[in-house]
Amino acid sequence: MHVQSESPLQAGKELPSLTLPEAGGGLVRTWDFHGRENLILVLVSDPTSASARHFLEKLALSYEEIRTEETEVLPIVRASLTEADDIKRMLGWKGRIMVDETGEVFSRYGVAEQVAVIIADRYGEIYYRTDASIKEIPSIEEVLSWLRFIQSQCPE
């Protein structure tokens, strides 16, 4: 199935609801987090790349700290369910990993680089998006800084 590219999601726009299979079984719906938690979506087009795995490893190590900011991290990998299960196990990932086997989400949202990071508040407003070559992936400190900024805007 061919999906036309839409304009990339930008800061100030609303994050669309996504439903994708989850590594380990089941479905993840971003709408289930609406009104409850901020979201970090990390779209990884090539999870076998050493640099992308390194970023995911850093996220995995920072997962508990990120969770203290009332935030869920949802990697979306372009891989098979079996590959995603292996990635989750290898990283020791405590959360969910969403799977986009066909690359439809990547195409739909104009993700052209190896990694895209989208940070949205609990109501779905996008505060930050970057499509990064591996050299330009944001640091964990930058991600945490955005989350703290969002929390200061939405103190409840």
Residue-by-residue pLDDT tens, the chain, 156 positions: 333 344 567 888 999 889 999 998 999 999 999 999 999 999 998 888 887 888 899 999 999 999 999 999 999 999 999 999 999 999 999 999 999 999 999 888 888 768 889 999 999 999 998 887 656 788 889 999 999 999 888 655
DSSP 49: S
The domain spans of the chain are 19-153
Residue 103 falls in which region: left (phi positive, over 0), alpha (psi -120 to 50) or beta? left
Locus of tokens 């930050």:
128
Backbone φ and ψ of 44, nearest 5°: -120, 110
Residues paired with residue 29 on neighbouring β-strands, in sequence order? 19
Fold of 19-153: Glutaredoxin (3.40.30)
Residue 43 falls in which region: left (phi positive, over 0), alpha (psi -120 to 50) or beta? beta
The answer to whether the beta carbons of residues 3 and 108 sit under 8 Å apart is: yes
